[in-house]
Amino acid sequence: MIGKEIRMERIMDRNTGRSVIVPMDHGFTLGQIEGLQDMTRIISEVSEGGANAIVLHKGIVRSGHRRRGKDIGLVVHLSGSTSLNPDPNDKVLVCTVEEAVRLGADAVSIHINLGAPNESRMLESGGKVVKDCNRWGIPLLVMIYPRGKGIDPISPQSVGHCVRVAEELGADLIKTNYTGDPASFGKIAKACSVPVFIAGGEKAGDVETLLAIRDSVRAGGAGVCVGRNAFQRDDPKGFVEALCRVVHQDMDPERALAGSG
Using H for helix, E for strand and C for coil, what is the string for 221-251? CCEEECCHHHHCCCCHHHHHHHHHHHHHHCC
Q: State whether the Cα torsion 67-70-74-79 is positive or negative.
A: negative
**How big is the CA angle at 123 (ends 118 and 125), to the nearest 5 degrees?**
100
Rounded CA separation 37/61 (Å): 14
To the query of whether residue 145 is one of the catalytic residues in this protein, the response is yes
Half-sphere exposure of 214 (CA within 13 A, CB side): 18
Rounded CA separation 171/254 (Å): 34
Catalytic residue among 25, 106, 172, 215: 25
To the query of whether residue 178 is one of the catalytic residues in this protein, the response is no
To the query of whether residue 175 is one of the catalytic residues in this protein, the response is yes
Contact between residue 140 and residue 8 where contact means Cβ atoms under 8 Å apart: no
Catalytic residue among 91, 106, 172, 175: 175
Q: How many residues does the chain have?
A: 261
Catalytic residue among 91, 145, 172, 215: 145
- Tell me which residues are annotated as active site: 25, 145, 175
